[in-house]
């Protein structure tokens, strides 16, 4: 309405301007003033803002609409590195183990074997050379120890890196991308056999410089975290000498040592407490004294150990009960053992210098 009045005022002013300019008398005489008309303003608009009218608050009902926050709590559980174990179901023995492949390594005296993966193994003998072969027998890589002496043992960690122990330098070393890195250096002790645990720790068997004491030491990196040497009565768990004591960890975290000079497999739990000893199985066909060499475990927590003098492999359950032999596949002087993730057994033959891949589970 105001805009409409404003428009009329503009029109009237324009008309007055035209009359002022004109010399005609009639428009001036006939003009009627519109001041009274324009002085009448439109009604004044009063705007009232909204107001909030508060109602009584029922606090109990209000509280019921909200949830609650529980207090902060913490808990711990054992963090265990899960190994790649494709075969977790119960697997029975084959009636007769089967020879799958034979790898000729060229060693005159072959000691250890450790699985790199399903298609490759590392091996070592009585030389400074550590050789990697594929399952077809092709030589993939050769590493020489820094000291120029034979390694006491070899093992592969979860990253696929090769570790070896060197008796000459009293060290445990890692080979990565062809370079040798020292991990552990001993004083007064000589490094023996090796095992990498499911948590990534390194178990090392060792003997004192005077060859009168033996023990197992667990390392986290280069830090010593556990020593296993005596039973609950203070007696030595292992024979006190410089003979090889192959070592492995079972799926239940038991630590299994093949103590050749003691003629026994010695098994302790992860706290180092003695669980049992296995000293061989009576047999009319196995006439030589039981002196276990290599040792390994499979997905069923079974323990396999090499009986070189009787040309066979003993298989035990996790409680030390004898289950069966592997004494076919033309085995001669089996020495080192390893089991891959598919439960294939790899056996080194000491004098023949061969690695045999054996299937023994269904």
Q: What is the DSSP string of 236-250?
A: BSS-SSSS-EEEEE-
Instruction: Note the pLDDT of residue 86.
Output: 47
Could you tell me which residue, 316 or 69, shows the higher pLDDT?
316
300 and 171 co-located in one domain: yes
CB-CB contact of 231 with 214 (8 Å): no
Position 98 scores a pLDDT of: 98
Q: Is the dihedral of CA 346, 265, 331, 191 positive or negative?
A: positive
Tokens standing for residue 240: 């006190």
Asked if pLDDT for residue 85 goes beyond 60, the answer is no
Residues 100 and 37 in one domain: no
At residue 7 the predicted structure's pLDDT band, cuts being 50, 70 and 90, is confident
Please indicate, yes or no, whether residues 34 and 109 belong to a single structural domain of this protein.
no
Please check whether residues 202 and 292 belong to one and the same domain: yes
| CA dist., res. 305 & res. 258, Å (int) | 7
Predicted pLDDT of residue 21: 77
Q: Find out whether 333 and 353 touch, Cβ atoms under 8 Å.
A: no
Per the structure, the count of domains in the chain is 2
Residue 276 lies in a domain: yes
Mark whether 226 and 151 lie in a shared domain: yes
CA distance 337 to 114: 7
Decide which of 120 and 51 is more confident.
120
Same domain, 36 and 131: no
Residues 6+ apart with CB under 8 A from 253: 197, 198, 269, 270
Judge whether 53 lies within some domain: no
Arithmetic mean of pLDDT over the chain:
91
> Does 55 map to a domain?
no
Does residue 143 share a domain with residue 30?
A: no
pLDDT above 90 covers a percentage of the chain that reads: 73
Sign of the Cα pseudo-torsion (22, 24, 26, 29, in order): positive
Q: How confident is the model at residue 62 (pLDDT cuts 50, 70, 90)?
A: confident
Could you tell me if 269 and 121 lie in one domain? yes
Q: Residue 246 belongs to what domain range? A: 93-361
Task: Give me the pLDDT at residue 192, please.
Answer: 98
Question: What confidence tens digit (pLDDT) does each residue in 86-129 have?
Answer: 446 799 999 999 999 999 999 999 999 999 998 899 999 999 99
Q: Are 113 and 125 in contact (CB under 8 A)?
A: no
pLDDT tens digit sequence for 233-280? 999 999 999 999 999 999 999 999 999 999 999 999 999 999 999 999
Residue 271 lies in a domain: yes
Res 3 pLDDT > 90: no
Q: Is 282 contained in some domain?
A: yes
User: What number of other Cβ atoms are within 10 A of residue 341's Cβ?
Assistant: 15
Q: How many CB atoms lie within 10 A of CB 56?
A: 5
Examine the pLDDT at 293 and tell me if it is beyond 50: yes
**What does the pLDDT read at residue 93?**
98
Span 346-357, average pLDDT: 99
For residues 170-191, give the mean pLDDT: 97
Domain co-membership, 31 together with 98: no
- Within this chain, do residues 220 and 305 fall inside the same structural domain, yes or no? yes
Look at residue 48 and tell me if it is in a domain: no
Higher pLDDT, 91 or 85: 91
Residue 59 domain-assigned?
A: no
How high is the pLDDT of residue 211?
96
Judge whether residue 8 has pLDDT over 60.
yes
Q: How long a stretch of residues is the chain? A: 362
Supply the CATH number for residue 192's domain: 2.120.10.30
243 and 120 within one domain: yes
The SS3 call for residue 328 is coil
Residue 69 lies in a domain: no
162 and 20 in a common domain: no
- In angstroms, the CA 61 to CA 58 distance is 6
Residue 61 has pLDDT above 70, yes or no: yes
């Amino acid at each position: 309405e105001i805009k409409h009045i404003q428009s009329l005022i503009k029109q009237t002013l324009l008309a007055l301007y035209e009359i002022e300019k004109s010399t005609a008398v009639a428009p001036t005489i006939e003009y009627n003033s519109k001041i009274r008309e324009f002085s009448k303003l439109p009604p004044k608009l009063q705007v009232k803002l909204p107001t909030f009218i508060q109602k009584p608050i029922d606090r109990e009902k209000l509280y019921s609409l909200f949830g609650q926050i529980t207090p902060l709590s913490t808990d711990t559980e054992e963090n265990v590195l899960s190994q790649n174990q494709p075969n977790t179901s119960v697997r029975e023995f084959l009636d007769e183990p089967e020879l799958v492949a034979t790898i000729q390594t060229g060693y005159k005296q072959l000691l250890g074997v450790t699985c790199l993966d399903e298609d490759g193994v590392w091996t070592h003998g009585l030389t400074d050379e550590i050789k990697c072969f594929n399952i077809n027998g092709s030589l993939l890589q050769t590493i020489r120890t820094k000291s120029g002496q034979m390694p006491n043992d070899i093992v592969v960690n979860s990253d696929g890196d090769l570790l070896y122990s060197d008796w000459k330098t009293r060290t445990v070393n890692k080979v990565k991308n062809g370079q040798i890195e020292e991990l552990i250096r001993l004083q007064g002790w000589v490094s023996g056999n090796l095992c990498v645990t499911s948590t990534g720790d390194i178990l090392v068997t060792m003997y004192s410089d005077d060859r009168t004491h033996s023990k197992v030491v667990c390392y986290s990196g280069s830090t010593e975290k556990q020593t296993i040497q005596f039973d609950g009565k203070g007696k030595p768990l292992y024979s006190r000498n410089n003979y090889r004591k192959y070592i492995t960890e079972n799926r239940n975290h038991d630590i299994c040592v093949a103590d050749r000079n003691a003629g026994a497999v010695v098994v302790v739990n992860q706290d180092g407490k003695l669980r049992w000893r296995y000293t061989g199985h009576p047999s009319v066909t196995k006439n030589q004294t039981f002196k276990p060499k290599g040792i390994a475990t499979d997905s069923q927590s079974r323990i396999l150990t090499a009986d070189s003098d009787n040309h066979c492999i003993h298989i035990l359950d996790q409680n030390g009960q004898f289950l069966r032999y592997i004494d076919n596949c033309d085995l001669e002087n089996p020495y080192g053992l390893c089991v891959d993730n598919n439960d294939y057994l790899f056996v080194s033959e000491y004098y023949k210098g061969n690695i045999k891949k054996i299937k023994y589970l269904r």
